[in-house]
């Protein structure tokens, strides 16, 4: 009886671990083009027309493209518990902005962290 119980518990454990979804790393989810659909302070009102996109590449390069000017800017990013976006000034000094991030339904919600802005929340769609 004891052997049967152990085998049964082992069988249940193997089945439960096989059924779990693999968690995808934020470093993988963020890759690709994201078009901003909301900018504000949490009211969740969509933008009428996106002004551009951010494209996160696998080599930690971020390309920001503006539709109106047709100009792009290259920045660096890295992600851990926060999303860090950095740009180097002409004098060599790095400006780094930190964001709290959340992924849901092909959306990326960014909230400014440790700096003040007029709009502190943006939501982008892949």
List pLDDT tens digits, range 39-51. 888 776 677 688 9
Token pair recorded at residue 72:
């792009």
Write out the two tokens for 86: 């950095």
Contacts within 8 Å (CB) and 24+ apart, 73-80: 79/26, 79/27, 79/30
Instruction: Please give the pLDDT value at position 43.
Output: 72
Helix (H, G, I), strand (E, B) or coil at 77: strand
- Given a cut of 50, whether residue 88 has pLDDT beyond it is yes
- Predicted TM-score of the model (pTM): 0.76
pLDDT tens per residue, range 19-46: 455 688 999 999 999 999 988 887 766 7
């Amino acid at each position: 009886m004891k052997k049967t119980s152990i085998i049964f518990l082992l069988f249940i454990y193997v089945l439960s671990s096989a059924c779990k979804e693999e968690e995808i790393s934020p470093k993988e989810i963020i890759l690709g083009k994201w078009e901003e659909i909301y900018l504000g302070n949490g009211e969740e009102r969509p933008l009428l027309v996106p002004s551009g996109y951010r494209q996160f590449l696998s080599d930690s390069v971020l390309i920001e493209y503006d539709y109106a000017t047709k100009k792009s800017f290259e920045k660096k990013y890295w992600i851990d518990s926060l999303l860090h976006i950095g740009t180097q000034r002409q004098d060599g000094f790095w400006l780094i902005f930190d964001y709290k991030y959340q992924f849901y339904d092909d959306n990326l919600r960014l909230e400014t962290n440790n700096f003040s802005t007029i709009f502190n929340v943006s939501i982008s769609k892949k």
